[in-house]
């Protein structure tokens, strides 16, 4: 890309207010392995406002998935302070403040599509009728209303991923954590899913923390793109996306010159770091 | 599903064809190989094929139809096979049930604590290297001393205990693998839902273990039958296939069809036991989907 575009200056962290979905202050994570200590994250300061879509992007090993797992309380930070809606991550997890989706759909193959979507509700003792109503609503939302009775093995990878996203929305979380949910999909499906996700998020008003390898994906979905660098994993730059409001983004947005400008801005931010360019898909 | 029925029909047809093929090869060997067997430089290469060592298939079948002994009113060999088989089947089934419960319990324990896995698994493997025949008299000896109120240890219980000793092994190992089979995405999901260990066991690990457990159950059923028969032989327990094998073997020289009938009975018993477990697999078929490829 040789299009000259102004590189946006790094944005100062959004001021903390009580409604912030995620607040990280100096968060670090060190893993102990046999070959010594590995610093996965260091000094991460980040605030995700309620309803905001923030993508984490960076080369392999930059700690973006680790950061997401810390927010989800699937791992614990070794330093710093992390709150989810003002609460410690463990409390937020136990209170079901977030929904989560991974690169692997992780559906239970013995359950129907409907029963998979109902799983979080079932685990938390929601009544049968309410579960059924919510699952129907969600499956309509992700366009799988006709597949409620199917088993996951009968669906394509993209459809399975849509089920996983419906499941993550089951309890109307005000925060969605997504770890490369479209990473295993083909380009066509991927773009369609992105468009759907933008719509779903606009409808639900949830904040999203979205891990991805793809620059166009991050730009298309986000209000802000957090660019990370590896060894040790830290935030190198935060790129605000200047596109139209996320709700009004459509497939046409991908051919917008503003879209390309933002893609370039994120790419240059990635290249700014010493080792940043490696391991990034320019999809 | 018609496809399923067609598959089952085809499997049965193949099974019968294999049996017929076996009989054909048997008769072929009898026809081609000289009666005294084949010797190269004084070493026996192929066994004797005379009517004593290898009776004709139809002779064995015919022998099943005739009565067991010359005594008046004696059962036919086939009826004796059926009675002994029924007896051993029940004992083996009892042993299998105990083995399955013990195996599952051990697997859950090992899945719960890594420490338990490290401590128990070597013993589980080691247990199978102890020869069954060495163990059988000990079990009978211990059992004979058990009296709890009205309960008195029966000899068939010793046989069942030995059968369970063989059956628990494949179940414990298979179930452990199955309980550990959920993907990180699945276990992370349950953790993210704040599901406790028991809830995760019931809703995720147990259902996920079914594809591993069902073959282990079938294997366990076959080993329980073998264990029961060997235990009957080595403890001299009456009434079952084990006793049939011993008593029929004694008439091998004069009545060569009889010992083969006992062997046929043992083989048939194994098939019936595996078939019964197949029914369990049928009940659990919803859980026997291969892992989703995503």
Tell me what pLDDT residue A16 has.
43
CB of B72 less than 8 A from some CB of A: no
Q: What is the pLDDT of residues A64-83, one digit of tens each?
A: 999 999 999 999 999 999 99
pLDDT band at B289 (very low <50, low <70, confident <90, very high): low
Kindly report, residue by residue over A156-215, the tens digit of the pLDDT. Answer: 888 999 899 999 989 889 999 999 998 878 888 888 888 888 888 888 888 999 999 999
DSSP state string for A50-87: TT-EEEEE-STTSSHHHHHHHHTTSS--SEEEEEETTB
Q: Do A153 and B210 touch (CB under 8 A)?
A: no
Alpha-carbon gap: B196 to the closest alpha carbon of chain A (Å)? 10
Q: Is the ipTM of this complex over 0.90?
A: no
What stretches of B33-131 show up as alpha helix (H) in DSSP?
A: 57-65, 77-112, 114-127
Mean pLDDT of A102-129: 92
Chain B CB contacts of A124 under 8 Å are: 193
Contact across the interface for A96 and B193, Cβ inside 8 Å = yes
> Do A110 and B294 make contact, defined as CB atoms within 8 angstroms?
no
Residues in chain B within 8 Å Cβ distance of A94: 194
**Three-state SS at A47:** strand
pLDDT score for B205: 94
Instruction: Give the integer Cα–Cα distance in Å for B165 and B227.
Output: 8
Instruction: Work out the pLDDT band at A246, boundaries 50, 70, 90.
Output: low
**Res. A6: pLDDT tops 80:** no
Structure tokens at B294: 């995503």
pLDDT recorded at residue B17: 92
- For B287, the closest of A104, A106, A110 (CB atoms) is A110
Q: What pLDDT, in 10s, does the model give residues B195-233? A: 989 999 999 999 999 999 988 998 899 889 999 998 888
- pLDDT confidence of A270, banded at 50, 70, 90? confident
Ordered domains of chain B (ranges, CATH) = 1-54 (no CATH), 57-287 (1.10.3720.10)
**Which residues from chain B sit within 8 angstroms of residue A122, using beta carbons?**
203
CA distance B167 to chain A (A): 27
**pLDDT tens digits, one per residue of B69-86:** 777 677 888 888 889 999
Tell me if chain A has a CB within 8 Å of the CB of B294. Answer: yes
Residue A223 carries which DSSP code?
A: S
Contact B193 A98 (CB under 8 A): no
CB contact under 8 A, B194 and A74: no
Q: Chain A contacts of B286, Cβ < 8 Å? A: 110
Where in chain A are all domains bearing CATH 3.40.50.300? 22-97+173-276
DSSP 8-state code for residue B69: S
B160 touches B228 (CB < 8 A): yes
Q: Which CATH superfamily is domain A22-97+173-276 in?
A: P-loop containing nucleotide triphosphate hydrolases (3.40.50.300)
Contact B235, B158 (CB under 8 A): yes
Q: What angle do CA B247, B250, B253 make, to 5 degrees?
A: 145
Q: Say if residue B88 is exposed, middle or buried (CB neighbours under 10 Å; 0-12, 13-18, 19+).
A: buried
Q: Do B203 and A119 touch (CB under 8 A)?
A: yes
Residue B212, Cα to own-chain centre: how many angstroms?
17
Mean pLDDT of chain A: 85
CB contact under 8 A, B292 and A103: no
Specify the pLDDT at position B4.
Answer: 64
What gap in Å lies between CA B204 and CA A107, rounded to an integer? 10
């Amino acid at each position: 890309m040789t299009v000259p575009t102004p590189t946006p200056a790094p944005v100062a962290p959004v001021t903390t207010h009580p409604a912030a979905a995620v607040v990280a202050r100096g968060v670090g994570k060190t893993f102990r392995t046999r070959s010594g200590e590995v610093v996965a994250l260091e000094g991460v300061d980040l605030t995700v406002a309620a309803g905001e879509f923030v993508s984490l992007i960076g080369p392999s090993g930059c700690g973006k998935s680790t950061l997401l797992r810390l927010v989800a309380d699937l791992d614990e930070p070794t330093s710093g302070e992390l709150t989810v809606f003002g609460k410690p991550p463990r409390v937020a997890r136990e209170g079901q403040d977030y929904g989560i989706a991974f690169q692997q759909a992780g559906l239970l193959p013995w359950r129907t599509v409907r029963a998979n979507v109902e799983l979080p509700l079932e685990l938390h003792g929601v009544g049968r009728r309410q579960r059924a109503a919510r699952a129907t609503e969600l499956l309509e939302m992700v366009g799988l209303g006709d597949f409620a009775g199917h088993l996951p093995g009968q669906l394509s990878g993209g459809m399975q991923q849509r089920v996983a996203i419906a499941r993550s929305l089951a309890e109307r979380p005000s925060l969605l954590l997504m770890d490369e949910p479209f990473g295993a999909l083909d380009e066509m499906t991927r773009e369609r899913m992105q468009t759907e996700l933008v719509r779903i998020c606009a409808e639900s008003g949830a904040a999203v923390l979205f891990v991805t390898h793809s620059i166009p994906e991050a730009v298309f979905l986000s209000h802000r793109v957090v660019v990370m660098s590896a060894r040790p994993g830290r935030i190198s730059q935060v790129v605000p996306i200047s596109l139209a409001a996320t709700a009004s983004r459509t497939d046409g947005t991908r051919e917008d010159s503003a879209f390309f400008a933002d893609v370039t801005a994120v790419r240059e931010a990635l290249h700014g770091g010493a080792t940043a360019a490696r391991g990034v898909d320019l999809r | 599903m018609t496809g399923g029925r067609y598959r089952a029909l085809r499997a049965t047809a193949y099974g019968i064809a294999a049996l017929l093929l076996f009989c054909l090869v048997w008769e072929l060997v009898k026809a081609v190989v000289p009666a005294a067997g084949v010797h190269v430089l004084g070493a026996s290469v192929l066994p004797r094929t005379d009517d004593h060592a290898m009776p004709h298939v139809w002779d064995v079948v015919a022998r099943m139809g005739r009565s067991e002994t010359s005594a008046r009113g004696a059962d036919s060999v086939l009826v004796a096979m059926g009675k002994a088989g029924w007896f051993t089947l029940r004992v083996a089934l009892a042993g299998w049930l105990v083995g399955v419960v013990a195996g599952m319990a051990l697997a859950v324990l090992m899945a719960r604590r890594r420490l338990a896995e490290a401590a128990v698994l070597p013993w589980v493997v080691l247990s199978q290297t102890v020869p069954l025949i060495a163990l059988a008299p000990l079990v009978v000896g211990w059992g004979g001393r058990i009296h709890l109120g009205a309960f008195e240890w029966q000899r068939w219980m010793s046989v069942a205990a030995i059968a369970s000793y063989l059956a628990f092994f494949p179940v414990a190992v298979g179930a452990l693998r199955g309980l550990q089979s959920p993907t990180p995405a699945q276990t992370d999901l349950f953790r993210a839902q704040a599901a406790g260990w028991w809830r995760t066991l019931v809703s995720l690990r147990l259902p996920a273990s079914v594809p591993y457990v069902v073959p282990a159950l079938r294997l366990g059923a076959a080993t329980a039958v073998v264990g029961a028969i060997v235990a009957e032989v080595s403890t001299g327990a009456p009434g079952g296939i084990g006793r049939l094998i011993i008593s029929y073997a004694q008439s091998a020289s004069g009545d060569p069809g009889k010992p083969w009938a006992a062997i046929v009975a043992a083989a048939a018993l194994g098939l019936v036991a595996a078939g019964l477990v197949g029914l369990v697999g049928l009940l659990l078929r919803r859980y026997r989907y291969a892992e989703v490829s995503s």
